[in-house]
Structure 1
Amino acid sequence: MATPASISPTIVETLYHDAIDLAEEARSVFDLSGRLDAVSANAGLSRVALSCEALRTTTRMMHAIAWLLNHRAYFAGELSEFQLRRHGRLPPAQPESDPEQLAMLDREVRELIGRTRAFYARIARLDNAWRESYTMHPSAIHRLRERLGNAVSGL
């Protein structure tokens, strides 16, 4: 498997602008004015479903934007590497949506939710790869000593 590319200022800037565009689209799609007359027959449940998904989606995007802003600050010299590793962690993904609630929403809303999930997953992969590069891995000598120790103790 190929080694993941390191995070560069160019990657962070590009993703930041993509995140802002996606968050703006989410804001306009979830704007409740004019949206509620397009909901299903059960208007009360549809409003709840729309509100829940709006909250999940905007939270997901704000977490991604915060992660990107921390990395921008690091590349601008405003955060140290230690501060970024300590405070720049991406929060866990939002819980999955209820399929019944999703079914009440317009196709456009469901597609937007899917795009924000994919974007968040992309940021999560970058975060994991970046954190993995700082994880201490035992050297070959330490692994060999451990295997020898296990073999000797098993005699």
Structure 2
Amino acid sequence: MFEPAAINPRIVEALYEEAIALADEVRHAFTLSGRLETADSGEDLARVALSSEGLRTTTRMMQAIAWLLNHRAYFMGEINELQFHRHGRLPPDMRTSDPAQTALLAPAIVDLVESTRDFYARLLRLDSSWRPAGPGQPSPLERLREQLEQRLAS
């Protein structure tokens, strides 16, 4: 039988440090200042591709960091379990790149984008494997309501 992954503050801290380093690489890679003034009109498609992928990649990393910050706050006692379950889910990474646009990007940027996708996929697997409540199970609020109804009925 599949055993849920255990998540603890050390794992969250290590992932958080990795996410911050990766986000810093993303910021450096997608900084457009200085490059726009020197670009000619023939590079418009490349600039659009770089901007689009930069937005997708930055959003992916900010979602990952927010997820990790929620876990840190929960482990530090700054938010309770209800708040954690309400805001602690990692959204699926649904934004895929257009292959035609990706072909216009430098190989180093394509590799960085792939690294962020891999990191996010790891977080998604961790998020889905350790959460005990599945789609068929009642939410904490529904369980509380059932308990109240049982106590009032007896």
What TM-score bracket applies, with the shorter chain setting the length?
Answer: 0.7 to 0.9
* 4+ residue runs over 2 A deviation: 33-42, 134-138
| C-alpha distance after superposition, 1:48-86 (max 9, x if no partner) | 000000000000000000000000000000111111111
Unpaired segments ≥5 residues, structure 2? 138-154
Contact 1:39 1:46 in 2 (8 A): no
> How far 1:130 sits from its partner (Å)?
2.4
1:116–1:40 Cα change, 3 Å: farther
Q: Which deviates more, 92-101 or 54-63? A: 92-101
In structure 2, what is the Cα distance between the partners aligned to 1:110 and 1:38?
Answer: 22
Who is 1:128 aligned against?
128
Who is 1:26 aligned against?
26
In structure 2, what is the Cα distance between the partners aligned to 1:69 and 1:109?
Answer: 26
In structure 1, what is the Cα distance between the partners aligned to 2:112 and 2:37?
Answer: 19
**In the TM superposition, what are the counterparts of 1:27-46 in structure 2 within 5 Å?**
27-35=27-35, 42-46=42-46
For 1:4, the aligned partner's letter is P
Q: Secondary structure at the match of 1:77?
A: coil
* TM-score of the pair, normalised by structure 1: 0.80
* Identical positions, percent: 57
For 1:112, the aligned partner's letter is L
Corresponding residue pairs, total = 137
Give the number of the structure whose alpha-carbon radius of gyration is greater. Answer: 1
Could you say what the CA RMSD is over the residues aligned between the two structures, in angstroms? 2.3
For 1:10, the aligned partner's letter is R
